[in-house]
Amino acid sequence: MKLSEDDIRKITLNAINELGEKASPALVKKVVGKAVDDLKSSSLSFPKNDTSSGRVILTAFGLNKPGIVASITKSLGDADCDIHDLSQKLMDDFFTMIMVVDISNSPKDLKGIQDEMSTIAEELKIKIYLQHEDIFRNMHRI
C-alpha cells in the first residue's frame, strides 16, 4: 500500500491533535510511524476527503551569496510551483528567506521538491527546510 502525501499529512495532524500538549517532534514522528506501519500492514485505505491546502513553507538561511533566490525560484518554477509570498532579509553577511509556495499543480510531490531543495542547499552551502503548511501551523501552535 502506498500512502500519498495527503494521507501522511492527515495522520500527522491526527497525531498532533491526539497528543495535545504532550506533542514533541520526536513523539509525533513515533506516533505517525506506528500509524503508517499499522495502515500498511492492515491494507486499509485512508479517506480522500482531505480539505487541507497544497501550500508549503520554505525557509532558507546561510551566508549570503549571489544566486540564492534565483536558484530556489528557478527550481520551484520548473516544478510548476506557485510562489504566494516571499520575504527575505539580509543581516550583515547572513541571508534569510521565508516563502509560501503552492505545490498543488506540481507533478512532483513534497518529497521530490524537498530532495531538489536539498541539492540546491548543498550546492549553495545554505540550509533549506520545506514542510507542509498544515504541519508547520500545528507544530508552531504547540
Q: Which residue would you say has higher pLDDT here, 23 or 44?
A: 23
Q: Which tens digit of pLDDT belongs to each residue from 111-125?
A: 999 999 999 999 999
* The predicted structure's pLDDT at residue 47: 41
Look at residue 49 and tell me if it is in a domain: no
| Range with top average pLDDT, 2-6, 83-87, 130-134 | 83-87
Domain shared by 117 and 82, yes or no = yes
Domain shared by 27 and 64, yes or no = no
Q: Which residue would you say has higher pLDDT here, 41 or 133?
A: 133
Domain shared by 59 and 128, yes or no = yes
Burial readout 59-74 (b: 16 or more C-beta within 10 A, e: otherwise): ebbbeeeeebeebbbe
Tell me the average pLDDT of the chain.
Answer: 83
Domain shared by 132 and 96, yes or no = yes
Q: Which tens digit of pLDDT belongs to each residue from 49-98?
A: 344 568 999 999 999 999 999 999 999 999 999 999 999 999 999 999 99
Number of domains present in the structure of the chain: 2
Look at residue 48 and tell me if it is in a domain: no
Look at residue 105 and tell me if it is in a domain: yes
Cα(62)–Cα(48) distance, rounded to whole angstroms? Answer: 39
The residue segments making up the domain with residue 74 are 55-141
* Whether the Cβ atoms of residue 87 and residue 97 lie closer than 8 Å to each other: yes
Look at residue 50 and tell me if it is in a domain: no
* The predicted structure's pLDDT at residue 44: 43
* The predicted structure's pLDDT at residue 40: 63
* The predicted structure's pLDDT at residue 26: 82
Look at residue 60 and tell me if it is in a domain: yes
